[in-house]
Amino acid sequence: MKKPLKIYFSSICLLIMGYTSSYAQKKFNQKPLVIVDQGAFSAGGSVIKSDGVFDALKPWNVPQGGQTRHGDHADVFYQIPQKAKKHALVFLHGYGQSRRSWQTTADGREGFSDLFLRKGYSTYLVDQPGRGAAGQTTKPAQVTAVPDDQTWYTQFRIGLYPAFNAGIQFPKDSLSMDKFFRMMTPNTGSVDESMVVNAMSSVFDRSGDGILFTHSAGGAPGWKTAIKNEHVKAIVAIEPGGFDFPEGEVPEGNRGGKGLPLNEFNKLTKIPIVVYFGDFIPKENTNAASLNFWRGVLATGRQWAKVVNAHGGDVTIVHLPEIGIKGNTHFIMSDLNNKEIAEVVAKWLHDKKLDQK
Amino acid sequence: MKKPLKIYFSSICLLIMGYTSSYAQKKFNQKPLVIVDQGAFSAGGSVIKSDGVFDALKPWNVPQGGQTRHGDHADVFYQIPQKAKKHALVFLHGYGQSRRSWQTTADGREGFSDLFLRKGYSTYLVDQPGRGAAGQTTKPAQVTAVPDDQTWYTQFRIGLYPAFNAGIQFPKDSLSMDKFFRMMTPNTGSVDESMVVNAMSSVFDRSGDGILFTHSAGGAPGWKTAIKNEHVKAIVAIEPGGFDFPEGEVPEGNRGGKGLPLNEFNKLTKIPIVVYFGDFIPKENTNAASLNFWRGVLATGRQWAKVVNAHGGDVTIVHLPEIGIKGNTHFIMSDLNNKEIAEVVAKWLHDKKLDQK
């Protein structure tokens, strides 16, 4: 790592104050949310125990054995609106993110989860094991502080930094960019996919029948959560990073692993699934590694939909520019047009009869 | 560290399901919350930058210089009820905790912040820099996974593990204990007090005039936040771990540092402050290190109140057993009697004319 130069943001304070007052005014014109219950809980997880005998008279003695550590759970914030619909919505974030991805936007507009709370859905916002409020894990980790904002800016298809993609649905002001970068949050432990799947399954044990919304790296554990827990009645996947094929039908170079036994895979054919992709994904390979990456993911997604549907499934791939919605980044749910996107998703839920009370 | 033994909690699922249904039923009998605005934002923070030039065509090249990292901010979840009172409440957690401390309880009852939201206060729930959703920092950290639940159980005065203190206001069932341990979450970076104070001051720039609620290790940066930002109109401190004395008046062995210049300290004399301590703090030293620790903190707190008040301040120390409220742990705001505690705090706010619309 190169030597970091520290910059303090005292000048930003004035900006924030101006931004806040106009912003608050805008939001206060909305109808109030009526919440019959809200709260937080942990779901699932594991426990490790050290040998020895704990001495309660000297609790800080080191090493102090005979102790437990509870970790690897998910952390959930939930809200239940008045006259809630039958199916809860459960939101799982992507890599380097937390439930913040769904709760707000870079420029402080209403997040995707609140847009659906307004539509009468209960919302369950998850921090996966080792992320955000679910920071306690059973396996240590080194958290680095290497500057990498521009890598993510580029990977998330905001543009080839410092450029913005033309016609992008992303706020270009420096304050929004600052807020966006601050939504990243690191892994606090060595977490593998099975930990996430186990914890997510416990979330559905608590929420009951629901619809799983996933973003990016949340996609892969999302498929396996649906396989594991029958409370998952549908999946809305936003640019999932990987796909689970059946054994023997895995395309070359698939990022989703070596294939599932058919009896497991077949569970994905029993529920409706919709997958959304944003803009700026090229048809042919380019000289930009990030764009080629997403070109590969979209191609794999289309192939996966064919395979699931050939096995009797109900997968729809929606490449937004093909239905006339342009300019979306990898963060479709918080882009400037997220209200329009929410309407597209709401219509799909309605068509699948998943919006009933 | 001793070799850890892994235990999976499949059997707990059945317990959770039973617990959930009775619990949900109980909460649904309450009046709904009417929220005119809610959301999340980051506040304050700093930026580091690496030397070199960023190559957007190869964003994953390592090392990849010319990048920024935004970190050291606070993360805030806020809710504004209909007809909100004039002063917002800003909640800062303690060591190893996040805003979860205020949002819920070990046994899933309503947390302290929701009790005050019901009273008409806007609530701003903070994750301090390097904790929870504010995980992105500018200084790396090693996160260990050493089993230490019993150290905290003892330090937090639940009892001398495995014993429970007699007459304790804490749920003794194993599921609540499990949930309580899972509220711990580690530091994700090397964070010092000034980072917390700077970020908290930015939170108040956004919230406007408000009352700062602190718990435990949040106490010390809390005093300095009030000194830094005039939007802090009062402090409610729950068992603060340290106190800020003026230079030349610091008692021996004080954990709060070497003393503040008088012109800074004097700002603490301009606002009303109340400090609450729970039960099980002995009058004389015992053979238990954790109890002696809290005995020292309470004694320092009483001394500090005398000093602030001698300089013209308005500090009240409330040792709850002395007003007939017994059985409280270090987590006064989430103990079984947290509704009763909220009434005690609400009366103080009323007496200080801080509950106006």
Are B186 and A289 an interchain contact pair (Cβ–Cβ within 8 Å)?
no
Which of A17-26, A225-234, B267-276 has the weakest average pLDDT?
A17-26
Name the token pair of B26.
């109980």
Given a contact cutoff of 8 angstroms between Cβ atoms, the answer to whether A16 and A175 are in contact is: yes
- pLDDT tens digits, A287-345: 999 999 999 999 999 999 999 999 999 999 999 999 999 999 999 999 999 999 999 99
Rounded mean pLDDT, A18-22: 43
Which pLDDT score is estimated for B62? 80
Q: How far is CA B148 from CA A64, A272, A303, B297, B328, in A?
A: 8, 44, 48, 22, 22
Measured between CA atoms, how close is B310 to chain A, in angstroms? Answer: 35
Return the SS3 of A74.
strand
Q: Which residues of A touch B182 (CB under 8 A)?
A: 42, 45, 70-71, 73, 75, 134, 136
Residue B245 has pLDDT above 60, yes or no: yes
Reported ipTM: 0.93
- pLDDT tens digits, A236-284: 999 999 999 999 999 987 776 789 999 999 999 999 999 999 999 999 9
Residue in the block written with tokens 């912003």? A23
- pLDDT tens digits, B3-40: 444 444 433 443 444 444 444 444 556 899 999 999 99
Given a contact cutoff of 8 angstroms between Cβ atoms, the answer to whether B119 and B113 are in contact is: no
> Residue A63 and residue A72: Cα distance in Å, rounded?
23
Query: Of A42, A127, A206, which is closest to B20 when you measure between CB atoms?
Result: A206
Are A139 and B145 an interchain contact pair (Cβ–Cβ within 8 Å)?
yes
CATH of B12-351, one of 3.65.10.10, 3.40.50.1820, 3.60.15.10, 1.10.10.10: 3.40.50.1820
CB burial string A145-157: b at 16+ within 10 A, e below: bbbbbbbbbbbbb
Residue A74 has pLDDT above 70, yes or no: yes
Of the residues B31, B64, B137, B143, the best mutation for testing chain A's interface (the one with the most A CB atoms within 10 Å of its CB) is: B143
| Partners of residue A235 on adjacent β-strands | A212, A273
Which pLDDT score is estimated for A11? 39
Nearest CA in chain A to B101: A40
Q: Which are the contacts of B344, defined by CB distance < 8 A and separation ≥ 6?
A: B276, B318, B323, B325
**Fold category of A34-46+67-138+145-351 in CATH:** Rossmann fold (3.40.50)
Nearest CA in chain B to A159: B56
Query: Of A3, A42, A57, which is closest to B182 when you measure between CB atoms?
Result: A42
Given a contact cutoff of 8 angstroms between Cβ atoms, the answer to whether A211 and A349 are in contact is: yes
> Residue A88 and residue A204: Cα distance in Å, rounded?
9
Nearest CA in chain A to B9: A46
Measured between CA atoms, how close is A297 to chain B, in angstroms? Answer: 17
Which pLDDT score is estimated for B28? 55
Residue A21 has pLDDT above 50, yes or no: no
Residue in the block written with tokens 């706020």? A171
Q: How far is CA B106 from CA A208, B180, B182, B338, in A?
A: 21, 5, 9, 12
Nearest CA in chain B to A46: B8
Measured between CA atoms, how close is A334 to chain B, in angstroms? Answer: 13
Q: Which residues of B touch A70 (CB under 8 A)?
A: 149, 178, 181-182, 184
- pLDDT tens digits, A120-176: 999 999 999 999 999 999 999 999 999 999 999 999 999 999 999 999 999 999 999
User: Sorting pLDDT into bands at 50, 70 and 90, what band is B64?
Assistant: confident
Residue B356 has pLDDT above 80, yes or no: yes
Given a contact cutoff of 8 angstroms between Cβ atoms, the answer to whether A352 and A273 are in contact is: no
Nearest residue to B156 via CA among B98, B216, B103: B216
Which pLDDT score is estimated for A256? 64
User: Sorting pLDDT into bands at 50, 70 and 90, what band is B63?
Assistant: confident
Are A189 and B32 an interchain contact pair (Cβ–Cβ within 8 Å)?
no
Which pLDDT score is estimated for B256? 64
Are B33 and A35 an interchain contact pair (Cβ–Cβ within 8 Å)?
yes
Rounded mean pLDDT, B118-136: 98
> Residue A244 and residue A257: Cα distance in Å, rounded?
7
A185: left (phi over 0), alpha (psi -120 to 50) or beta: beta
| Partners of residue A109 on adjacent β-strands | none
Measured between CA atoms, how close is B5 to chain A, in angstroms? Answer: 5
> Residue B96 and residue B152: Cα distance in Å, rounded?
10
Which pLDDT score is estimated for B25? 44
Which pLDDT score is estimated for A317? 98
> Residue B62 and residue B165: Cα distance in Å, rounded?
54
Which pLDDT score is estimated for A253? 74
Q: Which are the contacts of B109, defined by CB distance < 8 A and separation ≥ 6?
A: B334, B338
| Partners of residue A318 on adjacent β-strands | A276
- DSSP line for B124-157: EEEEPTTBTTB---SS-EEEP----HHHHHHHTT
Q: How far is CA A224 from CA A120, A212, B25, B183, in A?
A: 27, 11, 31, 26
Backbone phi, psi, residue A55, to 5°? -105, 100
Q: Which residues of A touch B58 (CB under 8 A)?
A: 289
Rounded mean pLDDT, A84-99: 98
> Residue A109 and residue A244: Cα distance in Å, rounded?
34
Q: Which are the contacts of B309, defined by CB distance < 8 A and separation ≥ 6?
A: B315
Residue A23 has pLDDT above 80, yes or no: no
Rounded mean pLDDT, B301-312: 98
Measured between CA atoms, how close is A243 to chain B, in angstroms? Answer: 22
Are B145 and A49 an interchain contact pair (Cβ–Cβ within 8 Å)?
no
- DSSP line for B263-292: HHHGGGGSSEEEEEE-S---SS--S-HHHH
Are B69 and A183 an interchain contact pair (Cβ–Cβ within 8 Å)?
no
> Residue B357 and residue B349: Cα distance in Å, rounded?
13
Are B39 and A100 an interchain contact pair (Cβ–Cβ within 8 Å)?
no
Which pLDDT score is estimated for A299? 96
Q: Which residues of B touch A182 (CB under 8 A)?
A: 42, 45, 70-71, 73, 75, 134, 136
Q: How far is CA A234 from CA A92, A113, A226, A332, B4, in A?
A: 14, 16, 8, 19, 38
Name the token pair of B18.
């039973």
- Residues of chain B with pLDDT > 90: what percent? 89
> Residue B88 and residue B231: Cα distance in Å, rounded?
10
